[in-house]
Chain A
Amino acid sequence: QMQLVESGGGVLQPGGSLRLSCAASGFTFSANGMHWVRQAPGKGLEWVALIRYDGTNKYYADSVQGRFTISRDNSKNTLYLQMNSLRAEDTAVYYCAKDSSGYSPLDYWGQGTLVTVSS
């Protein structure tokens, strides 16, 4: 059975750093692009970042470009999001999600992990 389990969320102050993880199982992790999507309290979904199946290409939303880094370890079936210089507006539930391949929809999502940035 397919599973995506996020971890690493928490409460931290503005300017801080945090690394989220997403452990994958039940599918061939190394064959799929992986994404981070977030939802701020009371707001809609915001796509954050994409990493291609082999980690060679990475893409970011303008709102996180230069502050967040997406990465993956295919030997550990794990996706990461390194978040630096955090701001209050980064407060959100962060979901990891997989696509099927190439430019394709997000066909399976994890349950999400909450990140709260507050002084």
Chain B
Amino acid sequence: DIVMTQSPDSLAVSLGERATINCKSSQSVLYSSNNKNYLAWYQHKPGQPPKLLIYWASTRESGVPDRFSGSGSATDFTLTISSLQAEDVAVYYCQQYYGTPYTFGQGTKLEIK
């Protein structure tokens, strides 16, 4: 199974500042035949279902604000929120869909400093 490891486990950032979350996979999730990274980022707020933010490592889902961006390739990925807003307080998860079982990172709890 592919193990996804996020860092840090929690993060406190001031409003308007940048937040960066890292995700590392135990094996590459880059599919060479199409040069796509099978990596997604989700936002999960209490009492709500998770929401897809980013897929193919860097493609923003429709309706997601452009302050959210994803980068990285193969085994190392980053979710960046360029200017933190109050509504961004949530737990963020990376997930690989390169192969089954699909696996999530352990989550990163983002708070306001």
Interface residue tally on A, bucketed by range: 20 to 34
Interface membership of B95, Cβ < 8 A: yes
Query: Beta-carbon contacts of B61-78 to A below 8 Å, as 1s and 0s?
Result: 100000000000000000
Q: Dominant SS at the B interface?
A: loop
B residues neighboring A (CB under 8 Å) = 1, 38, 40, 42, 44, 48-52, 55, 61, 91, 93, 95, 97-107
CB distance from A69 to the nearest CB of B (A): 16
A residues neighboring B (CB under 8 Å) = 35, 37, 44-47, 50, 59-62, 95, 97, 99, 103-112
Known: A105-B55, A109-B51. A44 touches B101 (CB 8 A): no
How far is it, in angstroms, between the C-alpha of A44 and the C-alpha of B91 when the chains are bound?
9
Contacts of A61 in B (CB 8 A): 101
Contacting A59 at CB < 8 Å: which of B51, B93, B101? Answer: B101
Does A107 contact B52, Cβ atoms closer than 8 Å?
A: yes
Does B97 contact A104, Cβ atoms closer than 8 Å?
A: yes
